[in-house]
Amino acid sequence: MEDDTIAIAEPPIRNSGVMGGKFLSRQVVKKDDGSKYLANDMYTGHVVDIMCHHFELLNGDEYSYRLMENDSKTFPFSCHSKIHEKMVEYKGAISKYFATEYQGDNKITMVDLSTCCQKIGLELNKQQILTVWR
């Protein structure tokens, strides 16, 4: 993050047919529009196009999530207050979903929360759902 560079390595998996190892050495990487990738482009669920390859960012570590949640200017999808503002409008629908339609075992998972948002029409991306769930 300190120098806006990216490195990509794939762990080798035995007998997978994929080599694994270093895909991209640490360097500045530009988007299709000519601007460079920055820290705020890196969030869960985002698809990053690098050298004609599509990489979906699946998860991060605890340090990264805390950093994103504490820097809402750089990482708007991890800003609790912005997500809360969106969810307040759907408060009744969320309550109704979990009171009537939810078939879980009294533990709400990220998948349950995502399903609820889809059914009631609340548009949250994976990073926002992760932030609420955490």
pLDDT in tens, 93-126: 999 999 898 887 888 889 999 999 999 999 999 9
Beta carbons of 100 and 18 less than 8 angstroms apart: no
90 φ/ψ angles, rounded to the nearest 5 degrees: -110, 15
For helices 80-88 and 126-133, the axis angle rounded to 10 degrees is 100
Beta carbons of 130 and 65 less than 8 angstroms apart: yes
Q: What's the rounded Cα separation, in Å, for the pair 1 and 40? A: 10
- Identify which of 55, 66, 67 has the alpha carbon closest to the alpha carbon of residue 29: 55
Q: pLDDT, tens digit, for every residue of 31-83?
A: 999 999 999 999 999 999 998 899 999 999 999 999 999 999 999 999 999 99
Mapping DSSP onto H, E and C, the string for 14-76 reads CCCCCCCEEEEEEECCECCCCCECCHHHCCCCCEEEECCEEEECCCCCHHHHHHHHHCCCCCH
What is the structure's pLDDT at 127? 95
